Amino acid sequence: MNEPAASPILRASGLSIHFGALRAVDDVSFDVPRGGITSIIGPNGAGKSTLFNLLSGSLKPSAGAVRFDGTDITALPPARRLRRGLARSFQITNLFFELPVRENLRLACQYYEPRVKLWLPVARNTRAADRTEQLLESFGLGKRAATPAGALSHGEQRRLEIAVTLASQPKLLLLDEPTQGMSHGDTADTEKLIAALARDTTVLLIEHDVDLVMGLSNRVIVMAQGRKLTEGTPAQVRGNAEVQAAYFGDKP
């Protein structure tokens, strides 16, 4: 199963999903190379989040296939995809709001432990516990560990969302608008964080903030109305007339 390192970590081929007459994602193909940051941009309704749902297993495509790390994962449910190393965050914060911050992370780290330990006291799961403390520390949430996730500030919740997604040490991290609703300061911090994450793993990013995308990404995929418009380096994409028309709103 070992593919050469140059092979893409993720390959979408001919992905489509139709809701009635609406072609939310229509015949989209692309590769995500290993390492670095690949971004998907596009105006509202371009099908970016739907595409993420297809990649992470929330939705089953009407047609097309997803290969991850050399294996066809089109039919796998989300939990199995995660266990293979594909993790995603959510645009709308999606946490265990009633549970403390530490428990949110501990649950996400439980993945490291053998299944039988699910039935043994939590204290026996030392690897998950260590990783939890590590994440609390590195995401600056240590002081908030006992607070229910629902009582955190918006910025803290967004950070926890990424920390929970990162807990499984994924090979590919899908980040769905991580800076959504953040202040300028928080956005700058998150930008640094994403750049740091990309040193250890591959990042596929959906982002509204075009400046942030252009500054961070190695590759950019542009979507409009469910289709892939173009892809390339940030410079190539910026120079593309179609993109100018569809996304930046300029008349060609």
Partner 1 sequence: MADAAGRVIRRTEYILLAATAILFVVGLMAGDTFFFRLATESLIFGGLALAVDLLLGIVGLLSLGQALYFGFGAYVSALLLKEVAPSFWLATGAVLAASAVVGYLSSFIALRSKGVYFALITFGLAQVAAKTVYNTRELGASDGIIGIPIVVIGTPFGGLDTANAPVFFLVTLGVIALLYGLTKYLLATPMGGIWHAVRANEARLPFIGFDTLGPKRAAFTLAAMIAAVSGALYPMLRGFVSPELLYFSTSGNAVVTVVLGGVGTLIGPLFGSALLTGLRSVIGTWTEHHQILIGLIFVAVVVLAPRGIVGIAIERAKRRAGEQI
CB of 182 to partner 1, least distance (A): 20
- Return the number of the residue (87 or 223) whose C-beta is nearest partner 1: 87
- Mapping DSSP to helix (H, G, I), strand (E, B) and coil, where does residue 31 land? strand
Residue pair 49/17 in contact (Cβ under 8 Å)? The answer is: no
For partner 1, the closer of residues 187 and 201 by Cβ is 201
| The residue type at 58 | S
Please, which residue, 157 or 217, has the CB nearer to partner 1? Answer: 157
- Cβ closer to partner 1: 63 or 118? 118
Q: In this complex, which beta carbon is closest to partner 1, that of residue 4 or of residue 114?
A: 114
Long-range contacts of 188-196 (CB under 8 A, 24+ apart): 190/158, 190/159, 190/162, 191/215, 191/216, 193/159, 193/162, 194/37, 195/37
Give the Cα separation of 225 and 148 in Å (integer). 39
- Using alpha carbons, select from 54, 55, 44 the residue that is nearest to residue 85: 55
CB 150 to partner 1: min, Å: 9
Question: Smallest distance, Å, CB 69 to partner 1?
Answer: 16
Write down the least CB distance from residue 79 to partner 1, Å: 4
Structure token digits, residue 83 = 């266990």
What residue ranges in the chain does DSSP mark as E strands?
10-19, 22-32, 37-41, 63-68, 71-72, 86-88, 172-176, 202-206, 219-224, 227-232
Q: How far is the CB of 146 from partner 1 (least distance, A)?
A: 7
Distance CA 239, CA 112 (A): 45
**Dihedral (CA of 36, 43, 55, 162) sign:** positive
Q: How far is the CB of 167 from partner 1 (least distance, A)?
A: 7
Instruction: Rank residues 99 and 214 by Cβ distance to partner 1 and give the closer one.
Output: 99
On whether the CB atoms of residues 220 and 233 are closer than 8 A, the answer is yes
Residues that bind partner 1 (CB under 8 A): 56-57, 77-79, 82-83, 87-88, 90, 94-100, 103, 106-108, 110-111, 113, 117-122, 125, 128, 146-148, 151, 164-165, 167-168
